[in-house]
Structures are given as C-alpha cells and as structure tokens.
Amino acid sequence: MLDFRLKTFLAVCRHLNYTRAAEEVHVTQPAVTQHIKFLEGEYGCTLFEYHGKQLLLTEKGRLLQQLANQLLQNERYALRKMQEKKESRPFIKIGATKTIGEYCLPSVIVPWLKKGGCRIQIDNTKNLLSSINNGGIDIAFIEGFFDGSQYETKIFRSDVFTGLCASFHPFAGKTVKLSELLNQPVFLREEGSGSRAIFESFLAMQNITLESFSQVNVVNSVPLISSLVELGLGISFGYKAIAENKSSLSCFTVEGLNGTHDYTIAWLKQSVNSVIQEFLESFSVE
C-alpha cells in the first residue's frame, strides 16, 4: 500500500493548503506538517516553499508528485485486478473533453464495448488531467494544449480549429479579420477547456484579451453553444467536427487563427494497467 505520508503529500499538492489537506485525509494540520517534514528529511530536499502567502511545489516536489501519482494509480490497478473474478470482462475508466465526447468518442468505444466495459467522464482538459493523476480515470482524450511531461501520449486524430456561426450569418464561409469579431457576441467554453485555451493563446499573440469583445458569454456545454450559434445569437470558436452534418451551422476563417490541431490520448507514465493497451488496440488511430 502507498505510504500514508505520500497520500498526505498528494493531498497537499492538490490543495496547496495544509488545512484543506488535513481535512481531506482526516488528520490534524500539525500532523500534515510532520508528514511533509518526514518526507523532506527522507528524500533530503524541500518539497514545498512559500512565495509570499502562496504555497507552491518545488521542482523536486513536482517530481515526487509525478512518481507518487504513478505509484497510487498502479496500486489501485493492482487492487482492482486482485478483486477481479477470473471470467470478468476488462473494464476501463475513460475521460474525454466535451467536443471529443460529443462528436468522436461514440465510434471509438463501439469496438471496446464488444469485449469490455467502461465508465466515461466528460469534462474539460484541466479536470481530466487531474482525474488521471488522482486515479479517477485511466486514460483521456484531450483537445488543446497541456503539459505532457507526466503522461504517455498518442495522437488520436486531427481537426481544424475554426470560427463557428449560423449558416445565414454574414461570416459564413468567409475569411474575416480579427477586428471584425470584436463587436460580435461570442460564446466560449469555461476556463480549463482546450478550445478556449487555443483561442485565448491566439488573442495573446495579437496583444488582445477577451475584454476587447463587446460581449463574451461563458457556456460549459458544446451542444448548447452550437444551438445558440445556430439561432444567430452570436459566434463561437471550436473544431470543424462540431459543424459537420449540421446544415444550420457554418464555419468561417479568422486570419491567423485557423489551423489543424491534434486530439491526443493521454495516460500516466509508468502505468502497469494492461487494460489501457487493450483499449488502444481495440480501435484504429487515424
């Protein structure tokens, strides 16, 4: 079993707060402090340090977090295998970002469901990566940017990142300048989503922020955004797959923005979970 002090350490990593970590692992705050001091003495390095009032991981702390997450996930997999009946079907916990979950994942899991079972979490990129680290899911289909240093990755497929509007909108099928977007109502995903990160990264390169737009609406549902855009209530930005097979939804090009981006499959490095490989072999990667 994973050392209880390492579990305390991971709780502090999640909260970056000793009090909230103590509440999670059901010990006192002084006990949390003692656990961290023990680990720092054991490994001969500082794991956390304060920058002002903000508690942050050190470089060695981030390394230990990565290794401890790997140990925790492998421990959970071992427990699952030990409790598994001999004739039981393989089971995998899958995560997917909202665009992939809505438009791509159904065709992917069909071959797997013929041989095994699954549990699916649909969420944004930030939350899915956290779920991988915490053992909530085994593998995730992710769009957008993320730090892949802790994960094994595989490109699933590529799609065009584009502007989205109603088929009757003046932008439909056209190329427009960024300045032409600023007076348009915009529907965007919540912070932490891959598509929003791509769009905000593009704006930053143009020295523009979301505050430059006349109206920004935040919606954490891709189908709802699509419906609002189809009604002509504003524009949005996402992947071409969203507009495919929808006659009432069109794409438009923004100068300097549109391009091909990858959908990536990610799972924790050094994972001993053999079901992950079985799942990857159950479908073809484009």
User: What single-letter amino acid sits at 231?
Assistant: L
The one-letter amino acid code at 50 reads: Y
Question: Per-domain residue ranges for the chain?
Answer: 4-81, 87-157+262-281, 158-259
How high does pLDDT run on average in the chain?
A: 90
State residue 1's pLDDT score. 64
Q: Which of the listed CATH numbers 1.10.260.30, 1.10.540.10, 3.40.50.2000, 1.10.10.10 matches domain 4-81?
A: 1.10.10.10
Res. 148 pLDDT band, cuts 50 70 90: confident
d(CA 91, CA 99): 23
Quote the pLDDT of residue 86: 62
Contacts of 78 (CB under 8 A, 6+ apart): 272
At residue 79 the predicted structure's pLDDT band, cuts being 50, 70 and 90, is confident
Q: Do 90 and 115 form a contact (C-beta atoms < 8 A)?
A: yes
Contacts of 34 (CB under 8 A, 6+ apart): none
Percent of the chain with pLDDT over 70: 97
Q: How many Å apart are CA 114 and CA 198, to the nearest integer?
A: 36
Q: Which helix (H) or strand (E) holds 235?
A: strand 235-239
Whether 132 has a pLDDT exceeding 60, the answer reads yes
Q: Do domains 4-81 and 158-259 have the same CATH topology?
A: no
pLDDT at 196 over 60: yes
At the second CATH level, the architecture of 158-259 is: 3-Layer(aba) Sandwich (3.40)
Phi, psi of 216 (to 5 degrees): -120, 120
pLDDT, average across residues 56-73: 87
Q: What is the pLDDT of residue 44?
A: 92
Looking at residues 145-153, what average pLDDT do you find? 86
Question: Quick one: tokens of 25?
Answer: 């692992």
Using 50, 70 and 90 to split pLDDT, how confident is the model at 82? confident
The CATH class of 87-157+262-281 is alpha beta
Q: Using 50, 70 and 90 to split pLDDT, how confident is the model at 122? A: very high
- Asked whether the whole model's pTM tops 0.85, one would answer no
What's the average model confidence in pLDDT over 115-127?
92
Calculate mean pLDDT across residues 193-218. 92
